[in-house]
Amino acid sequence: MLNKRGQVTIFIIIAIILIVAVSLYFIFKDKSSVENIPIEVEPVYTNLISCLEETTEEGIEYLALHGGYYEVPKSISIAYFTEDIPYYYLNSREYVPSVERIEGELEDYIHNYLSNCLDFYSFEEQGYEIREGDLLVSVNIKEDKIKVKLDYPLTITKGKSTKRLREFEIEVDSNVEKLLETSQEIVSSYSEKPGFVCVTCLEEISEAQDVEITSAPFSNDYEEAIFFLITSHENELNWKFAVEQ
């Protein structure tokens, strides 16, 4: 009897050790990349990662409000006050962008706006000398997240110490892919009877995708359209596009 109790105790101890080990892994896995950075350049690395996260999140919001585009193609755009909004359905054709196209648009946004929040100047005031190489951005959109990688050679000198950084990577939670799928469902439904918004269809899509869908007619001196706005219940991200009426 005592032997069995001893065996049970050993199993319990092993289970506790495994639980603690797994917990520590998840606690420290996100810190490991920082810990591998030389301490002399860690402030520069941290600033760049923070800036990359901020720029990526801002880019996602901007692209969502422009139907997935950083620069909406003029051939499929409609002017909405001071904004250009893309047509997803025009001249009886569907123009819903692919995930790959949106990845490219976000890459362009990050490439153009990353420097807005980089604070290299303040580091130079602290005695750092930072030389930059060419910046390359790679975006990969997944089901519930977006991965961003930078190839950005930095040579950082302070005093007699010179260190080099090159590769940077982040992941941000995002349901862009689901919002794009929702857009495709709306456009496919609309294309069956152009000019008519199937309210019941929108309600079904909204419930299935856990989003809120609103539509509103719009016209200017040259064209008439229907705008759709998809709002995610997960993160309140707003996705906007138009179809011809």
Sort strands 93-94 and 77-80 into parallel, antiparallel or unpaired: unpaired
Q: Are residues 50 and 143 in the same domain?
A: yes
Residues 120-176 pLDDT 10s:
989 999 999 999 999 999 999 998 999 999 999 999 999 899 999 999 999 999 999
Same domain, 52 and 139: yes
Residue 158 lies in a domain: yes
State whether 85 and 58 are in the same domain.
no
d(CA 207, CA 199): 12
User: Do residue 168 and residue 181 come from a single domain?
Assistant: no
The strand pairing partners of 231, in sequence order, are: 212, 238
Q: Are residues 167 and 186 in the same domain?
A: no
* In a domain? residue 231: yes
Q: Which helix (H) or strand (E) segment is 151 a member of? A: strand 145-158
193 and 208 together in one domain: yes
Average predicted confidence (pLDDT) for the chain? 89
**pTM metric for this prediction:** 0.84
Residue 108, C-beta contacts closer than 8 angstroms, at least 6 positions apart: 70, 71
Q: What is the pLDDT of residues 189-237, one digit of tens each?
A: 999 999 999 999 999 999 999 999 999 999 888 899 999 999 999 999 9
The pLDDT of residue 31:
40
Measuring CA to CA, how many Å separate 161 from each of 120, 128, 210?
Answer: 17, 10, 53
Q: Which of 147, 173, 199 is the last residue of a domain?
A: 173
Residue 214 lies in a domain: yes
N-to-C CA span, the chain = 81
Residues 145 and 163 in one domain: yes
Is 1's pLDDT higher than 80?
no
Question: Where in the sequence is the domain holding 133, given as residue range(s)?
Answer: 40-62+105-173
The residue ranking higher by pLDDT, 64 or 28, is 64
